[in-house]
Amino acid sequence: MEKTTGNLPSEVAYVIKEDPTHENILYAGLYRAVYISTDRGTSWSLLGKNMPAAAVSDLEIDVQSGDLVASTHGRGIYKLNLIPIYEKITLNKVGDFLFDQPIAKLPFQDNNQNGVNYRTLTKVPITFWMTKSELVTIRLVNDKGENVWSIEFIAKRGYNQYRWNMISNHVESPLPYFINYNQFIGKGMYQLQIKTSTANLTTSFEVE
């Protein structure tokens, strides 16, 4: 029997799942996080960072969408898109790496005073690989080189994914009768940048 514990932390493993399309990829749901191995368990890295520190009860992979769905004990259900991970393995990239972006689609407009139908909002995944844990800056720049949105993100070693709601600014006021609202990014082409301690990773970012 092949040993697959590798460098996993000394925690209870509730589920270990083999990827249905890439046999060398394994996923492990542990007591406090989800881990991924691309070499059948020889080495592991933390998968994402937006999940709370909760016991993972099950892992399922939707082959059609490429989403990994993790259920937890009492802390909700979370998902992460695996397609960028498949791309990195296929391209055999090394070092810090920013994956190509899917087209971001803005939510539909509503006729009420809020202006946006939030039920049609789909967060866009920003996926990247880091060789070490550090604080990075994720930034979106327009064709004039102007910063239209940015956020600092504590990246972990391995795969990271930030799911952005495409809100570039939240406008609010203490004045009476003022309706607070979210300002979404406009349609068009942008450049996505991730600033690390050693590089400035870039890729195109299209909004429809």
d(CA 123, CA 130): 22
Give per-residue burial for 27-62: e unless 16+ CB within 10 Å, then b. bbbbebbbbbbbeebeebbbbbbebeebbbeebebe
Q: State whether 71 and 112 are in the same domain.
A: no
Neighbouring residues of 68: CB distance < 8 A, sequence distance ≥ 6: 27, 34, 47, 59, 60, 61, 79, 80, 81, 82
Q: Parallel, antiparallel, or unpaired: how do β-strands 167-171 and 181-184 relate?
A: antiparallel
Q: Is 23 helix (H, G, I), strand (E, B) or coil?
A: coil
Q: State whether 109 and 71 are in the same domain.
A: no
Task: Report the CATH number that the domain containing residue 152 is assigned in CATH.
Answer: 2.60.40.1930
Q: State whether 103 and 140 are in the same domain.
A: yes
| 136 CB-contact burial (10 Å; exposed 0-12 / middle 13-18 / buried 19+) | buried
Q: State whether 82 and 142 are in the same domain.
A: no
Q: Enter the tokens of residue 54.
A: 């909760």
Q: Looking at the predicted structure, is the pLDDT value of residue 4 above 90?
A: no
Q: Enter the tokens of residue 143.
A: 């064709």
Q: State whether 79 and 165 are in the same domain.
A: no
Q: State whether 20 and 120 are in the same domain.
A: no
Residues 73-113 have pLDDT tens digits of: 888 898 888 888 887 777 766 789 898 898 999 999 877 65
Q: Which of 3-12, 115-124, 165-174 has the lowest mean pLDDT?
A: 3-12
Contact indicator for 7, 43 with CB cutoff of 8 Å: yes
> Quick one: average pLDDT of 203-207?
97
Distances (CA, A) of 122 to 33, 63, 67, 119, 183: 24, 19, 14, 8, 15
Instruction: Please give the tally of structural domains in the chain.
Output: 2
Is 6 domain-assigned?
Answer: no
Q: Enter the tokens of residue 30.
A: 């542990």
The alpha carbon torsion through 127, 130, 135, 138 (nearest 10 deg) reads -30
Q: State whether 134 and 156 are in the same domain.
A: yes
Is 3 domain-assigned?
Answer: no
Q: Is 87 helix (H, G, I), strand (E, B) or coil?
A: helix
pLDDT for 52: 75
Q: State whether 48 and 143 are in the same domain.
A: no
Which residue among 41, 56, 91 closes a domain?
A: 91
Is 153 domain-assigned?
Answer: yes
| Predicted confidence band of residue 49 (pLDDT cuts 50, 70, 90) | low
Which residue among 62, 91, 120 closes a domain?
A: 91
pTM for this one?
0.69
Q: Looking at the predicted structure, is the pLDDT value of residue 2 above 60?
A: no
Q: State whether 140 and 63 are in the same domain.
A: no
Count of positions (residues) in the chain: 208
Q: Which spans in 96-150 are helix H? A: none
Q: Looking at the predicted structure, is the pLDDT value of residue 35 above 80?
A: yes
Q: State whether 128 and 190 are in the same domain.
A: yes
> Quick one: average pLDDT of 49-72?
88
Residues 110-140 have pLDDT tens digits of: 776 557 888 899 899 898 988 888 999 999 9
Domain that holds residue 131: 97-207
pLDDT for 178: 55
Which residue among 24, 56, 91 closes a domain?
A: 91
Q: State whether 104 and 132 are in the same domain.
A: yes
Q: State whether 28 and 127 are in the same domain.
A: no
Q: Specify the residue for token string 């083999």.
A: 18
> Quick one: average pLDDT of 16-36?
92
